[in-house]
Every structure is written in C-alpha cells, then in structure tokens.
Structure 1
Amino acid sequence: MMDELTAWLNEMEQFRLPRFEELPELDLYRDQLLTLVDKYIGPIWLEDGPVVTTSMVNNYVKNGLLPHPEKKRYTREHLAYLIAITFLKQVVSINEIQEGLEVQTRLNGGIGKAYDFFCDKQELALKMLNHREEGQVLSEKNQSSAYLLVEMATISFATKLVTKKTLMIEKHNSNEKS
C-alpha cells in the first residue's frame, strides 16, 4: 500500500497546470472547454466520471461564479475560472468560492495573475504532501496508512478552517470599506 502511495505522490510532484498565457487564446465552445479542463485536471482526478459537466458549467454561470459566455463561446478567462473552481469546490462551498475568487482577482490585479498564483500554490501543495514534517518523507517506516489517514484528515480540516476564517475577515474588511 505505502509503495503504491509513494509512487503516486512522486507523480503528484510532477503535476503542472498550464499558466494563463498557455491557455488557448481562441474562443471555445462548451465541449472544447470541458475537454480542456479534463485534459488539465484529469491526471490527478480520483473521482469517477468527468471532471466537469455541462450542467456544472451552466450552474456556475447561473450562480455568477463564471461570467456568461459570449455567443456561446468561452474565453481563456472562463477556462481559468473553471479550473480554479474545480479544485476549490472539493474544499469549500460555492458561496465561499465566489467570495474567494473575487478577493483573489482583486488582490492579484486580475484573473490572469490570480490564476497563475493559484496554479503555483496548488502545485506547491501537492509537492509538500510528499515532504512533510521537516523533511520526513512518506516512505519512512513509522508512517502506517492509519497514521497517514489521520494526518491528512486533520491537515485538511485545519486548512479548510483557515480558509473559511480568512474569507470571513476579507468579507468583513470589504464591508467596512463600502
């Protein structure tokens, strides 16, 4: 079990998302948009079924997470948002995603910079999983799968908690300004 997990974590270290400038400049139809999201995220996707579906995209547009397509065409901005949303919805609610995207886009000076920052941090987080606890690596003998399950679940909770608190502070601060 641990050998398989170690091999998988080593693969995760190699995972790379395309940066904003590498996303297609041409406008895309929805099926092309879905295909690209699947291509970019598919290598690390563990769930059964497609990474993103047509109904998900429609819901994101309807709920204001994604801008409306222009003449049924999607831009690289749509693709960047959709990639980020796909990761974030594994961790936080749709409302929190919307708030977080607004905050990050504002603080980073636009979707391109915010998206690239997100990609850098996501890749770093995947690398860090393989090199936790001040240089201890997963393959050390003291780390059973039971230990790892608890460690990862508690880290997940802690990071989700910090994410929620940060959003609450940002929301409070932006409400005070307006």
Structure 2
Amino acid sequence: MKNNTEELYQWGEDMLTFHLPRWHELPSIDLYMDQLISLIERYLAPLSIPDEKIITPAMVNNYVKMKLIPSPQKKRYNRVHLAYLIVISTFKQVFSLSDIKTAITMQTVVMSEKDSYNLFCEEQEQALQMMLSLILKGGALNSIDPVVMSAIPMKFAALAFANKVLVQKVIHIQPENEIK
C-alpha cells in the first residue's frame, strides 16, 4: 500500500504545477489533423489514464458534424478549434456532448471565445489544486491506513457527482433564447 500512496502523492505533487495553455500560448499557425491530435494529447496527458485515447480524428470529425466546433478551413485547424477541443476533451469525461455544447454557448454569449477559454483554464487548474490540497495537505496520504486510502475514490466521486448535478441543473434551466 505504501508504494500506491507514494505514487499518488507524487502524482498529486506533480499536478500542483499542471498548466493548461492559455489562448496566447496556443499555436497561431494552422494545423493539420495529426498535429492537432498530437498537441491535445500532449496538453491533456497529465489528466488522462495511460493508454487511453483522449481524442481521435473520428471524434474531431464528429464534433464538426455536430457543430460543437467550427468546420476546418482547407483541412486545417486553428487556435479556436484547439481551444474548443481542449474544453470538449476535458468535459466529455463528465458531461454529455449536448450539455457541453450548451455550456460553451452559454459562456461564449457573455464573453469572447478567448476569454471563455482562458477562464476555463483558470477554473480547471484551481479545481485541481483545490482537490489536491484536500488530499496532500489534508493528511489523507500521510496515513497508510487502507480504510483512509479506500475512502478517497468514494469521497471525490461523490463531490464530482454533486458538481455534475449542479452544472446540469444550471444548463437546463436556462431559457433557450438566452443561449442562442
């Protein structure tokens, strides 16, 4: 159990410095599909499970068809596509694509895509740091007690569910005309 605790603690310490690229840090040149996929995987690798695909060309094509992201120009993708795909790739692990589309639309109605994306990055990093501080500084990993370690998934799964319920409620109470 001690090795698992140490591994989780090290991951947590590493994640405290996790940084999502802000709008101005995203490439300003157009990218081909393979470059786009490679960048997203690199940016989101610390958040993913090893050997699990974060995004594929088929997913990107489906997001275009579903109008979650704009169509590429001459098979090339720009900063806007990259930002949308980072948000979608992160949120799809928790929410339906329909809810993600609504949430993105709600946000981009009140602020620019650039500001919306930067806000997403800030909020995601703060949420990770808050969660990690509960584990690292709260002492959960200072104990090798199996009961304490086994409670971590349940505690944070319950928090994740509670947050999901709140987000879905806010999304679904918005009048249609406010988000179109």
Cα distance, 1:153 vs structure 2:
1.2
- Which of 28, 52, 57 is residue 55 of structure 2 equivalent to? 52
Question: Which amino acid in 1 is paired with 2:83?
Answer: A
Cα distance, 1:12 vs structure 2:
1.1
Normalising by structure 2, we get a TM-score of 0.89
Cα distance, 1:177 vs structure 2:
8.9
Q: Indicate if the aligned counterparts of 2:105 and 2:179 stay in contact, CA closer than 8 A.
A: no
- Which of 138, 144, 148 is residue 144 of structure 1 equivalent to? 148
Cα distance, 1:84 vs structure 2:
0.3
Partner of 2:22: 19
Q: Is it true that 1:163 corresponds to 2:167 in the alignment?
A: yes
Q: Which runs of 5+ in 2 are unaligned?
A: none
The farther-off stretch of 124-133 and 26-35 is: 124-133
The farther-off stretch of 23-32 and 42-51 is: 42-51
- Which of 118, 121, 143 is residue 119 of structure 1 equivalent to? 121
Question: Which amino acid in 2 is paired with 1:26?
Answer: I
Normalising by structure 1, we get a TM-score of 0.90
Residue identity (%): 39
Q: How does 1:83-94 map to 2 (within 5 A)?
A: 83-94=86-97
Q: Indicate if the aligned counterparts of 1:130 and 1:138 stay in contact, CA closer than 8 A.
A: no
String of CA shifts for 1:10-40, please: whole Å, max 9, x gaps: 1111110110011111111111111110111
The farther-off stretch of 137-146 and 66-75 is: 137-146
Q: Which runs of 5+ in 1 are unaligned?
A: none
Secondary structure class of the residue paired with 1:83: helix
**CA RMSD of superposed structures (Å):** 2.0
Q: How does 1:19-38 map to 2 (within 5 A)?
A: 19-38=22-41
Cα distance, 1:136 vs structure 2:
2.0
Cα distance, 1:115 vs structure 2:
0.4
Cα distance, 1:130 vs structure 2:
1.6
Q: How many angstroms apart in 2 are the aligned matches of 1:28 and 1:176?
A: 33
Q: 1:78 to 1:139 in 2, by over 3 A?
A: same
Secondary structure class of the residue paired with 1:7: helix
